[in-house]
Structure 1
Amino acid sequence: MKGMFVEQNIGAYESGDVNKSFVDDDGREKRTGTWMTASAHIITAVIGSGVLSLAWANAQLGWIAGPAVLMAFSIITYFTSTMLADCYRSPDPVTGKRNYTYMEVVRSYLGGRKVQLCGLAQYGNLIGITIGYTITASISMVAVKRSNCFHKHGHHVKCQTSNNPFMIIFACIQIVLSQIPNFHKLSWLSILAAVMSFAYASIGVGLSIAKVVGGAHSRTALTGVTIGVDVTSSEKVWRTFQAIGDIAFAYAYSTVLIEIQDTLKSSPAENKAMKRASLVGVSTTTMFYMLCGCVGYAAFGNDAPGNFLTGFGFYEPFWLIDFANVCIAIHLIGAYQVFCQPIFQFVESQSAKRWPDNRFITGEYTINIPFCGEIYVSFFRLVWRTSYVVVTAVVAMIFPFFNDFLGLIGAASFWPLTVYFPIEMHIAQRKMKKFSSTWTWLKILSWACLIVSLVAAAGSVQGLIQSLKTYKPFQVQQ
């Protein structure tokens, strides 16, 4: 029904039968997003659970390589995001036809099998992120309970708690929120999540500063953890690779950039507003990342935990630790929606195209709820989205790792989605000549980032293998 409605609107728009103040040039409902709402979406997507592992990542890389890698990924991410923003419309970035998804953008500029490869990389990455956020949200919820236990019984008590009940709670919340029809209705949730991300990142930085000022003399080094003292030579190599993957994950939002851009109103031009939003989003997150990574490393040194708020780098004040972890959980509730909405939209649009006459798939029903007004309910949306949330929760229960999982997701998504496709589409859009100076250095950048992704993936896989040796599914974790 929705697809039919859009087609009717397009026809009516072209014939002049629809009031053009209510619809855009493609016949869809008028977009109202601004660079500020887009910035909120980006910050929600970027400042995620990855920020909490940056002190650990800096400990593996040291004072020189750690900040340098953070800045390098920041610059590369912003640079390629501007290229991707110019591809939202084709062939002209201002007046061309809209592309609603990353796959449609790749289809317009590159075509062929690259469209399928993009879809595999994007949606595989989005699924991985939603699983990862289920894991990390439950870890934060567990940390609240353990923090209270440590405060009551002392730091020497194990305070074992299972993550599984909290994953179920998180999934129940997501089942409700997943009924939000599309990205355009998510602005309020993203703004709330962005505020939460600022809150817990600030608390982490504040506690780290307090620890340093309080006279904590943690052992640090220009090159990070020391071979023969902290780790063996092979562990140093694998941890370095994994740390690079963690940092790559911390900047990943290209998977949802086009979907975010599709929420923007057409004046000013969407690509200009998106570039501004990207600059604000990436600059803001880089500032927090530098603070969390560097100040956290100064506070904990080479013994920095993988997650300094849930790994109990801090025990007191316990109420502030509790508040920070609640903020993390609320942020991840919103971030989950930012990353799962493109998956929902893809499956629902493809199903509607394949079975346009199936009322279960295309039908929507109006329900009037007191104080909320009319809402539109689709039985297919209800069943499919609920099933997706349940499956991701079950997988998360079986696979509850943190740093290794973050690194693997970052490595798998960084090169194809953040670097390769934006560069290839930019080359196609500008019709660059092969072996010209610009073409050559863009290709060098792409190949260099591929090597980074491969070594990061290797480090993460090795970490997962080590974790699997001692892990038993569905058992209480310490």
Structure 2
Amino acid sequence: MAMELQTNASLSEENGVIDSKFDDDGKLKRTGTWFTACSHIVTAVIGSGVLSLGWAMAQLGWIAGPIFLFTFSFVTLFTSFLLTECYRAPDGTRNYTYIQIVKTNLGGMKYLLCGVAQYVNLVGITIGYTITAAISMVAVKRSNCFHKEGHEVGCHFANNPYMIIFGIAQIILSQIPDFHNLSWLSIVAALMSMGYAFIAVGLSIAKVAGGGHVQTSLTGTIVGVDLTSTQKMWNSFQALGNIAFAYAFAVVIVEIQDTLKSIPSEKKAMKKAVSVGISVTTMFYSACGLLGYAAFGNSAPGNILTGFGFYEPYWLVDIGNIFVLVHLVGAYQVFCQPIFGLVEEWCSKKWPESDFFTKEYSINIPKIGIYKMNQFRLVWRTVYVILSTVIAMLLPFFNSILGLLGAFAFWPLTVYFPVEMYIAQRKLPSFSAKWIMLKMLSWVCFIVSALAAAGSIEGIVKELKNFEVFRSIS
């Protein structure tokens, strides 16, 4: 593969077409812009986590809630800037993946730990999105049931058939070869995410304007009234994990940067994309979280669009949940493409002479064009989607799963590795002022992530007490 890339580069240079056809690494010229990168970021960041922010604000209250929300936003922006600096090595060569960047800058065990953290988190996110997509599909059915039968009717339905439907759709979409072919899907998904965020905000404003007293407080849920002191502690920790999950896109930031064209520099374009993407998402997060808390008070549901009280106007709730579903279809692909790429690259290097792993077959699809089909890609990606769907059917815990995923990924991938790589690249002296500040940031974020993980694990343990295998009901 490396020889092929070098040959491409040298041949294109000789023919004088390197600027029009190939990049400096011999790969076909990248065409991504800051706008397409921003679309990928918004698709990855404004996910199902936004719908749980009203609940998170209810646990933390009017003071701690906004403070943590903006703190997570600032930390994510700052460390994302550090990470974009590492895309190219000091000699100018590219690093195509997160783990490759860590290997280049830190090496050894840290490289292996990064791989485990990144890919376990990516798998977890695809499982979590399968759960959320099913809940959104069932919510459409429930809202129509409530509209026809009345709110006193239970209108409960099994989630599993809808997880299977989502899985079938992902089997088809997973045949999209790589990130470079995902821009159109990410743009659609980003628009959908803004759409359901607007609907959640609109419904919250309507509920607040409609009057009716809801209990809110500076510290959130009240011990002795809403819950016990122990429950308050665990829920607050879990709320931190939910906020962290809402900013969990570091796992794909390098892969997104690798889609950008070289002029202007990838670093410059990516910093613009990150700045715009995080600013937009923080604006939506603030609106959804704070207005959701104002609308529902201390009894805010874990998912605004599927919580009790938001089944009228039923048609608007239906539209909101359809937007969530379409967004999750695209977001699933953004997060699973690095998993697909890792396995496929390893197998092609392991068995380079095997047609099953390396040969591409051209299929002419009317009105679409030529599709390159690979046998291993078809089998492996189908098996992955099936397995992730089965696991999702076994673990239907919305808030707790989101919190655990956020806690597990936030510190190592969003904070620790970017900080350590920046220190290594800049050769900062130990115990210098900048070194101390970066290390303190890392340790504080580690403590917050550990507390969030503890709260989410406690939530999962509690929900397991009433859990029945393959009997997920909404």
- TM-score normalized by structure 1? 0.97
Partner of 2:403: 407
Residue 441 of structure 2 aligns to a residue in which SS?
helix
Which string of whole-angstrom CA distances, capped at 9 and with x for unpartnered residues, describes residues 124-145 of structure 1? 0000000000000000000000
Partner of 1:102: 98
Among candidates 412, 430, 439, match of residue 443 of structure 1: 439
Residue 98 of structure 1 aligns to a residue in which SS?
coil
**1:118 equivalent in alignment to 2:104:** no
**1:88 equivalent in alignment to 2:87:** yes
User: After the TM superposition, which residues 161-200 of structure 1 pair with which residues of structure 2 at under 5 Å, given as runs?
Assistant: 161-200=157-196
Among candidates 376, 392, 395, match of residue 380 of structure 1: 376
**1:63 equivalent in alignment to 2:62:** yes
Q: Which deviates more from structure 2 when the two are superposed, residues 436-445 or residues 19-28? A: 19-28
- Give the Cα separation in 2 of the matches to 1:20 and 1:9: 12
Residue 264 of structure 2 aligns to a residue in which SS?
coil
- Give the Cα separation in 1 of the matches to 2:182 and 2:389: 22
Which string of whole-angstrom CA distances, capped at 9 and with x for unpartnered residues, describes residues 292-339 of structure 1? 000000000000000010123311000000010000000000000000
Among candidates 126, 138, 150, match of residue 154 of structure 1: 150
Partner of 1:21: 20
**1:249 equivalent in alignment to 2:245:** yes
Gaps spanning 5+ residues in structure 2: where? none
Which string of whole-angstrom CA distances, capped at 9 and with x for unpartnered residues, describes residues 243-300 of structure 1? 0000000001000000000000001110111011000000000000000000000000
Among candidates 270, 274, 282, match of residue 278 of structure 1: 274
The one-letter code sitting in structure 2 at the alignment partner of 1:196 is: M
The runs of at least 4 consecutive aligned structure 1 residues that moved more than 3 Å come to 2-8, 13-20
* Cα shift at 1:7: 4.7
- Give the Cα separation in 2 of the matches to 1:8 and 1:119: 30
Gaps spanning 5+ residues in structure 1: where? none
Percent of counterpart pairs with the same letter? 63
* Cα shift at 1:9: 1.4
Contact preservation (8 Å) 1:305, 1:313: no
User: After the TM superposition, which residues 336-355 of structure 1 pair with which residues of structure 2 at under 5 Å, given as runs?
Assistant: 336-355=332-351
Among candidates 245, 250, 259, match of residue 263 of structure 1: 259
* Cα shift at 1:475: 1.8
* Cα shift at 1:20: 3.6
The one-letter code sitting in structure 1 at the alignment partner of 2:142 is: R
Partner of 2:451: 455
**1:327 equivalent in alignment to 2:326:** no
Partner of 1:214: 210
Contact preservation (8 Å) 2:9, 2:22: no
* Cα shift at 1:113: 1.1
Contact preservation (8 Å) 1:13, 1:25: no
Q: Which deviates more from structure 2 when the two are superposed, residues 18-27 or residues 427-436? A: 18-27
Aligned-CA RMSD value: 1.2
Q: Which deviates more from structure 2 when the two are superposed, residues 68-77 or residues 360-369? A: 360-369
* Cα shift at 1:6: 3.3
Residue 225 of structure 1 aligns to a residue in which SS?
coil
The one-letter code sitting in structure 2 at the alignment partner of 1:258 is: V
Residue 42 of structure 1 aligns to a residue in which SS?
helix
* Cα shift at 1:16: 5.1
Residue 306 of structure 2 aligns to a residue in which SS?
coil
Residue 374 of structure 1 aligns to a residue in which SS?
strand
> What is the number of equivalent residue pairs in this alignment?
474
* Cα shift at 1:3: 6.8
Contact preservation (8 Å) 2:43, 2:330: yes
Which string of whole-angstrom CA distances, capped at 9 and with x for unpartnered residues, describes residues 103-156 of structure 1? 110011111111111100000000000000000000000000011001110111
* Cα shift at 1:473: 1.4
- Give the Cα separation in 1 of the matches to 2:119 and 2:130: 17
Contact preservation (8 Å) 2:136, 2:325: yes
Partner of 2:227: 231
